[in-house]
Amino acid sequence: MARQTVAVIDYGMGNLRSVLKALEHVADTQARILLTADPKQIANADRIVFPGQGAARDCMRALRSTQIDAVVRDTLQSKPFLGVCMGLQVLMSFSEENEGTELLGILPGNVQRFPERFHEQRLKVPHMGWNNVYQVRPHPLFKDIHDGSYFYFVHSYYVVPEDPTLTVGVTEYGVRFTSAIARDNLFAIQCHPEKSSHAGLQLLKNFINWDGQS
């Protein structure tokens, strides 16, 4: 098998070093991991990883200014695609963050903020630390990962997809929220697999070996 290229999208937000190191570790000699903001390099890659953190409005501004928003839409038509944290949220239509932000609109749904209180108990926002991801249905990226495995989260907002069949993973934090979605060659997860020990590395390894079919 020819050595493949995995493009990690760099739109100028967040520390991507841990993402790169984790992908290089699990890929070994199978793939070349390329950090890039060049739309042509992203378009030519075999696989796409869209990581990220930060505010939705800043993210969208950066994507549009570099024309990465267009190449993301194009690559989602055919190539294995992994969205991480903001790389999940930005796929939705609209976010409550920054007094309302229009997102890529690739998947119908919104991004909502965690409530400050739940059943008279105050929630700490952001949701930060280890929590379970419960698998709603099987998916190749969950191979060899136990249902309910712990992953590392840092976020104040969560996605609410209009189509419930998109949800493949859920997590409890005051509310029961969608923490992983999948459709065809797309998989996106709210947590940070690169910071999630064995389960996270296994998910990244599964992505490297995934043929893009669910």
CATH for 149: 3.40.50.880
Rounded-to-integer distance, Cα 112 and Cα 94, Å? 9
pTM flag (> 0.85): yes
pLDDT (tens digit, 0 to 9) for every residue of the chain, 214 residues total?
568 999 999 988 767 889 999 999 999 888 999 999 999 999 999 999 999 888 899 999 999 998 999 999 999 989 999 999 999 999 999 999 988 999 999 999 999 999 887 666 788 999 999 999 999 999 999 999 999 999 999 999 999 999 999 999 999 999 999 999 999 999 999 999 999 999 999 999 999 999 998 7
Residue 204 belongs to domain spanning: 4-209
Instruction: Give me the pLDDT at residue 107, please.
Output: 96
pLDDT, residue 30, reads 86
CA quadruple 148, 188, 87, 33: dihedral sign: positive
Annotated catalytic residue, options 59, 127, 139, 194: 194
Q: How open is the CA angle 22-24-26, to the nearest 5 degrees?
A: 70
d(CA 68, CA 62): 8
DSSP 6-53: EEEE--S-S--HHHHHHHHHHHTTSEEEEEE--HHHHHHSSEEEE---
In a domain, 181, yes or no: yes
pLDDT for the residue 41: 96
Say if CB 29 and CB 1 are below 8 A apart. no
- Does the active-site annotation cover 139? no
Q: Is residue 17 part of a domain?
A: yes
Beta strand 157-161 with 167-173: parallel, antiparallel or unpaired?
A: unpaired
194 a catalytic residue: yes
Task: Return the structure tokens found at 181.
Answer: 């979605």
The answer to whether position 75 is within a domain reads yes
Report residue 207 CA to chain centroid gap.
12
CB 80 within 8 A of CB 211: yes
Structure confidence at residue 119 (pLDDT): 66
Active site residue 192: yes
Q: What is the pLDDT of residue 120?
A: 67
Whether 14 is covered by a domain: the verdict is yes
Backbone φ and ψ for 84, nearest 5 degrees, come out as: -125, 125
Is position 95 within any domain?
yes
Question: Which segments of 67-105 does DSSP mark as H helices, in order?
Answer: 68-75, 86-89
Residue 40 maps to a domain = yes
In a domain, 180, yes or no: yes
Q: Is the peptide bond before 126 cis (omega within 30 degrees of 0)?
A: yes
The catalytically annotated residue of 127, 139, 155, 192 is: 192
- What is the C-alpha to C-alpha distance for residues 5 and 14, in angstroms, rounded to an integer? 22
Contact at 8 Å (CB) between 72 and 89? no
The total domain count for the chain is 1
Rounded Cα distance between 139 and 153, Å, is 21
Choosing from 59, 85, 127, 191, the catalytic residue is 85
Give the model's pLDDT for residue 117.
76
214 in a structural domain: no
- Look at the chain and count its residues: 214
Q: How far apart are CA 81 and CA 67, in angstroms?
A: 18
